[in-house]
Amino acid sequence: MLVEYPAKILLLGEYTILHGSKALALPYPHFKGSWSFNEKDSERAINSRKELFAFLEKSGHSYFDSDKLKEDLDSGLWFDSSIPQGFGVGSSGALIAALYDRYGKSEQGILEKKKILASLEDHFHGSSSGIDPLVSLLKKPLLIHSFDQIEVLDNDLELSNFFLIDSEKQRNTGPLVQIYQEKMKDPEFKLSCANILSKEVNFAIDDVLKGQNKKDLFHHLWLISKFQWEYFQEMIPTQLKHLWNQGLDSGDFVLKLCGAGGGGFILGYSFNRFESNNLISLEQFELRNIV
């Protein structure tokens, strides 16, 4: 039976999770990866194996059966993934989830799993929270109260009004996080994040979980979008700035960062994006539904 590992979307909590807000992360099965022995001589397969051999050489081997992995790689195994790299939807997280699932040595509790997955993903990112691979591994939404308190959600969420915009630009998370950390050295910015942004993120997450009052959710998302417009200009892709500002002015839709920003996908929310003539400017971009 083919086991697939979905991409992930950090719906809410980008950056603020680093300083105490909640976050909500979702599996995104429109992109996914799986192990394969098919087409093992293709360029994609060869590159995948090179990446995995490099991972074997540099990562710690105590968390998984490295001998079995090497044996399978020598036999032509590769990770066949449709998840775009550098777009903030967890391409390395899905790979790490697949490695842990197939070659992990023992079952662990959710926090121990996250710790191991983070250690393995450090090979790709330098420092990982473990959230991305945990979403791909469990294939369920995660409500992150803190990095030490994670709740697995079994109920379906009402996400039909959300959509993704493809900026068609890769980005690197590390420098963007560094920009944010520098901003946090400014007491005024830090206070604004705590008193405005983090609170609105928590309110929006509560609204998503309740799935009832979309007007309240839109209001909180608008305030998040406004805050990011005012303080996170470096994280907003240049080609989307006019659209971002248009959404704030018109009230027909809002855009916000999806993960670190800077490129990749941007998250949107609208009541009627298929009906309003004011949304015609969205048509020039590739839009993807969340569900």
CATH topology (fold) of 5-152: Ribosomal Protein S5; domain 2 (3.30.230)
Give 134's contacts (C-beta < 8 A, 6+ positions apart). 93, 97, 110, 113, 114, 117, 142, 150
The domain ranges of the chain are 5-152, 162-289
Judge whether residue 285 has pLDDT over 60: yes
Mean pLDDT (the chain, rounded): 90
β-pair partners for 35 = 79
What local confidence, expressed as pLDDT, does residue 288 receive? 86
Judge whether residue 167 has pLDDT over 60: yes
Judge whether residue 274 has pLDDT over 60: no
- Residues 51-75 have a mean pLDDT of 88
Q: Which class would CATH give 162-289?
A: alpha beta
Ranked by mean pLDDT, the top range of 182-191, 223-232, 269-278 is 223-232
Give 271's contacts (C-beta < 8 A, 6+ positions apart). 161, 214, 218
β-pair partners for 12 = 24
Strand ranges in the chain using DSSP code E only, listed in sequence order = 5-12, 23-36, 78-81, 142-146, 149-152, 162-166, 253-257, 265-270, 287-289
State the DSSP string of 223-248: HHHHHHHHH-GGGS-GGGHHHHHHHH
Helix H or strand E segment including 120? helix 110-125
Per-residue pLDDT tens digits for 173-213: 888 888 988 999 999 999 999 889 999 999 999 999 998 78
Per-residue pLDDT tens digits for 202-221: 999 999 999 878 899 999 99
Per-residue pLDDT tens digits for 241-262: 999 999 999 888 999 999 888 8
Distance of CA 286 to the CA centre of its chain: 18
- Residues 61-89 have a mean pLDDT of 92
Could you give the angle at which helices 66-74 and 43-58 cross, rounded to 10 degrees?
160
Confidence band, pLDDT 50/70/90 cuts, at residue 59: confident
What local confidence, expressed as pLDDT, does residue 122 receive? 84
CA distance 242 to 236: 10
Per-residue pLDDT tens digits for 113-149: 999 999 888 887 667 889 999 999 999 999 999 989 9
